[in-house]
Amino acid sequence: MTINPDLQGRSYPAAEVYDVGREKIREFARAVKATHPAHFDLEAAKALGHSDLVAPPTFAIIIAQRADAQLIEDPESGIDFSRVVHADQRFVHHRPIVAGDRLVAELHVDGVRAMGGGAMITTRSEIFVLTGDGTVGSGVSREAVSTTTSSILVRGEGQ
Amino acid sequence: MSTTSIAPVLSDLAVGQEIGGRSITVTRQDLVKYAGASGDFNPIHWNEAFATGVGLPGVIAHGMFTMGAAVQLVTDWAGDPAAVVDYQTRFTKPVLVSDTTGTDEPGAVIEVSGAIGALDADAGTVRVDLTVVYAGQKVLVKAQAVVRLA
């Protein structure tokens, strides 16, 4: 199966809303062996000026990989997930993610490059927090939270 | 548990200065926990037969587990997790995690150390360069965290 070169430049609009919960922040923090009290203790987070528990720096991967799944599961993409290797990852945070945030992600396919029999695919998720009443639709304002960039190598046969 | 440290001050820092280091022990159970917490259930991170079946030497840690755990050195040094405004890495080598279930032994040990790579007084930021090593080899390359200091 070959990777569809027409993927480059494709975008997937914001789909489902991700509600950031306190227990999810605590669970993710424990899973990456984080111990900073701002992930666990509301008073410690507030003492640093945050409105609620603060997510660890790589928490946005949950939302980014959900967005990436739209591409990987797109039958037109030609991507075999069992042959995917994560090559690089970047997070740029415009403001911290905190419990209570309602997040959406727009996915952009920034690069598709043939590598041997496989391909390197670079995607970017623009993650926004919904403000106001938080429902998706016209008239809802949103604020940029994080930009995540990820490259995956889809190994070709024999790679 | 760590305690909240006194936040570093940019004018006290110099390029090359070390921020410390730590060892991260990893077990198969840690990978299952990370899979559940992150939603990444790729079986190469928890099933030996699947991993070897796709040509890997065994079960490997999620790259994002290693990236996520390595930055804790920076978070604790900075004194506020939200101070990390930019964090990137390339994944170059897998971290093989042996099955030590039922023992107190780790399945892998990752060594992390950090040093100041750059200072930007105008932006109020410092770049911390992380060295992340498993079994004598760098598993993350160009692992850089930009920290905004008050």
Residue range A94-145, pLDDT digits in tens: 999 999 999 999 999 999 998 888 899 999 999 999 987 655 555 668 899 9
Scanning every residue of chain A, which has its alpha carbon at the shortest distance from the alpha carbon of B79? Answer: A36
> What value does the mean pLDDT of chain B take?
94
B128 vs B126: CA distance, rounded Å: 6
- For residue A76, count other CB atoms closer than 10 A to its CB: 10
Give A134's contacts (C-beta < 8 A, 6+ positions apart): A17, A102, A140
Interface test with B, best of A16, A26, A33 (most B CBs within 10 A): A33
Residue of A36, A83, A88 with shortest CB distance to B81: A36
The per-residue pLDDT for range A64-85, each reduced to its tens digit, is 999 999 998 888 888 887 788 8
ipTM of the complex: 0.95
Q: How far is A17 from chain B (nearest CA, A)?
A: 16
B30 vs B17: CA distance, rounded Å: 32
**A26 at B interface, C-beta within 8 A:** no
pLDDT-derived band at B48 (thresholds 50, 70, 90) equals very high
Pairwise CB contact (< 8 Å): B75 & A96: no
pLDDT-derived band at B2 (thresholds 50, 70, 90) equals very low
Q: How many CB pairs under 8 A join A and B?
A: 124
> pTM of the full predicted structure?
0.94
Residue of A62, A87, A149 with shortest CB distance to B38: A62
Pairwise CB contact (< 8 Å): B33 & A88: no
Give the three-state DSSP class for B142.
strand
Pairwise CB contact (< 8 Å): A57 & B68: yes
Nearest Cα to A129, choosing from A3, A19, A6, A12?
A: A19
Q: Which residues of B touch A83 (CB under 8 A)?
A: 54
Residue of A31, A38, A88 with shortest CB distance to B80: A38
Q: Which two tokens stand for residue A153?
A: 């190598």
A132 vs A139: CA distance, rounded Å: 9
Pairwise CB contact (< 8 Å): B64 & A86: yes
Scanning every residue of chain A, which has its alpha carbon at the shortest distance from the alpha carbon of B150? Answer: A48
Residue A110 buriedness (CB in 10 A; 0-12 / 13-18 / 19+): middle
Domains and CATH numbers, chain B: 14-148 (3.10.129.10)
% of chain B with per-residue pLDDT over 90: 93
- Contacts with A, B 85-104, CB within 8 Å: 85-91
Q: How far is A38 from chain B (nearest CA, A)?
A: 7
